[in-house]
Amino acid sequence: MFAPNQSYGRTGVRTAVASTAYNGQTSKDRRFERSALDIQAAKELPFQPINVIVSKHDHMLRVMSGSYVLATKRVGLGREDRTPEGTFTVQQRVIHPRGSRAGAYGAAGLGMGRYAVHGTFDAASIGANQSLGCIRLSDSDMLDIFPLIPRGAEVHIAANADHVTTPHHDLPSAGVADFIPTNLPPVNETAGRRVFHWLG
């Protein structure tokens, strides 16, 4: 998956695959397990940055690469309209972020200053307005999108973001997982004893 806390200025699905053959890697190099078919399919995709679109009216989050939808997830939002609208930048990528109380941010978090996109154990809050402003996903959904979103990705939050995601296109291959480099050198994505103070 993408290296944690690394900035990808032009990160997109195609660049993710291209990295598997970069710096002279060959099919004999087992650090990367990608087929020629995967790479050929990826060439059909434009170089586009990864960005996240959050539509408040239907509680939906979409991970996009240009007009390609990589993932669609249902989210929980802030009560009393506390989730702000606008464009934010992912500044932190953390597995099992620590908060003021245990499990406050679930399995993973993408920090954006005071706010974050993070997991939650409170399944009832998904599709509802119960948070203090953060964007919540189930832990399983959070772990699905976490490898796709690098530091520096933009998160666009709008009252109704339907116009942002249309027209959109399906990926020209089996699925998103086939376009993400695997077996990269392990990197610790936890934050040790650091405590985060996202609004939650």
Residue 96 designated active-site: no
* Catalytic-labelled residue, pool 134, 163, 168, 169: 134
Dihedral sign, CA of 75, 78, 82, 88? Answer: negative
* Catalytic-labelled residue, pool 59, 118, 156, 163: 118
HSE value, Cβ hemisphere, 13 Å, CA-based, for 136: 26
Nearest to 46 by CA among 68, 63, 74, 25: 68
Phi/psi of residue 104, nearest 5 degrees: -60, -35
Residue 118 designated active-site: yes
Nearest to 50 by CA among 168, 151, 178: 151
The strand pair at 154-158 and 50-55 is best described as: parallel
CA-only gyration radius of the chain, Å? 17
Pull the structure tokens for residue 123. 């399944």
Question: Which amino acids are annotated catalytic?
Answer: 118, 134
